[in-house]
Every structure is written in C-alpha cells, then in structure tokens.
Amino acid sequence: MQTTFIVHVEDQPGVLTRVTSLIRRRGFNIESLTVGHTERAGISRMTIVMDSDERAVPRIEANLYKLVNVISVENVTPQPVVFRDLAMIKVAATEASRGPIMQLVDVFRARVVDVSPDSLIIEITGTEDKIDGLVEMLKPYGVLEMARTGRVAMARGSSAPILAAAERPAGDKEVEFDSGVSFSV
C-alpha cells in the first residue's frame, strides 16, 4: 500500500536525516521525498511517499511525532488530495523532429524551457502517469537526460495542519487515530 505523509519540521540541520533514518530503521522504502520551505519562516514541509502495510502507518506516524524537530504529521492517503510531480526532460531534437516534439509538448500541456541546435528541455508538471506518458512518447526521439521531483501533495479544502500544531503548547503533541486510540508524545 502506498502511503503519503505530509510532515512539517523545523528547518534545522540533520532533521532530514533523522526522519529518513526513522523510516529506514522500520524497514520501509521511501519511494519519493520532497522537501521545501513553507509560508512560515523556519518551517519546512516534507512529502513522503512510502510502501507500507496498514498496520504500520499509525506506528510510523506516532514515531515521527517523537522526533524533536517534527511539528506536525498528516497521513493524507485516505483524504482528497492534489498530487503533482515536476520533471525536466532533455530530448534530442533535429530540425525534422522539432515540430512533432512541440506538438507532443502541447498535447501534454508541458512547455519548452530551453532550445539548443540539437536538443530541447521540456518542463512538465502533473501526475506521475501524465509525466510517464510524455516520457514514453519522447523515447523514440532520444531522451538525453531527465530530472524528476518526487510527489508533492496538498489536502483539498481549507484545512491547514501546521496551524493546528502551532496552537498546541510546546512539547504537548497528541496523535489520535481512526480507531479511537490516541498517544501523547
């Protein structure tokens, strides 16, 4: 089962290592990890996608809360969420192939961000399937290089878990799960 966590953390050295080490020690593989700044200074947002079984998800969530620099953890897997990836793809392009490649770029609502005499760099944002589809269509032309971000996720609606976490007293984090069991950490 693929699980997606959104984790807000303090922007401190070593926090990324602590989070990934915790998941590694539990024996799970991180399929995708993106980290970036948030709207609040000093707070970073991680989107972690991993394969796990249903029983392990609450344990991982509770263990993430035990890390000192973790502010909030949200399992967004069962929620309505918008997922996006970004990819930059450098593809070989001759004068003859440039036109068909540009048509593919339009079909996939991607855009060309760099043109050179023998290649194009294409930027695409969307779901993993959409990006995979464009890559498959570009392979016959010669994909020279590709860089993909991991998945970025945001829950639909007006909820903002970081605000709720910021209102809690320092050091008092309570995690409640669907089964009615809660942990104070």
* Model confidence pTM above 0.85: no
- At 166, the pLDDT band (50, 70, 90 cuts) reads low
For 15-72, the pLDDT digits (tens) are 999 999 999 998 888 999 999 999 999 999 999 999 888 888 888 999 998 998 999 9
Which pLDDT value is given to residue 184?
43
72-126 residue pLDDT tens: 999 998 888 899 999 999 999 999 999 999 999 999 999 999 999 999 999 999 9
CA R_g for the chain: 20
- Alpha carbon of 76 to those of 100, 115, 137, 157, 178: distances in Å? 39, 39, 31, 12, 13
Helix (H) or strand (E) holding 7: strand 2-10
